[in-house]
Structure 1
Amino acid sequence: MIQNRTFWGKYLTNTQLDLSIASYTKVPLTWGEDSYIPEFNKLYFIMEGEGFVRVNDKTYYPKPGELYLLPSGTVQAYGTISGNTFGKYWCHFTSKLNDSQLFDLIKTPVFLKTHNQEQLKSKFEQLIFYSEKEDISSGFRVHAILLDFIAEFIEKSGTVNLNTRTVPSYDKMDDIVQYIEENLDAPLCVDDLASIANFHPNYFISVFKKYTGLSPIQFINRQRMERAKHLLITTDYSVSTIAESLGFDLSYFSRMFRVHIGFSPTNYRDMVSMSALSKYGE
Structure 2
Amino acid sequence: MSADQSVLERAKNTGGVTKAAYKAELEQLQTELVAMQRWVAATGARVLVIFEGRDAAGKGGAIKRVIQRLNPRSARVVALPVPSEREKGQWYFQRYIARLPAAGEIVLMDRSWYNRAGVEHVLGYCAPEEYDRFMRQVPSLERMLVEDGVMLFKYWFSVSDDEQQKRFKSRLKDPMRRWKLSETDLLSITKWEEYSRAKDDMFKVTDIPEAPWWTVESDDKKSARLNMISHLLTQIPYEKVALKKLKLPERPSADDYERPAPELYKYVPDRAADLDRNSKAGQ
Q: Classify the TM-score, shorter chain.
A: under 0.3
Decide which structure has greater strand share.
1
| TM-score scaled by length of structure 2 | 0.25
Q: Bigger relative contact order, structure 1 or 2, given CA contacts below 8 A and separation 6+?
A: 2
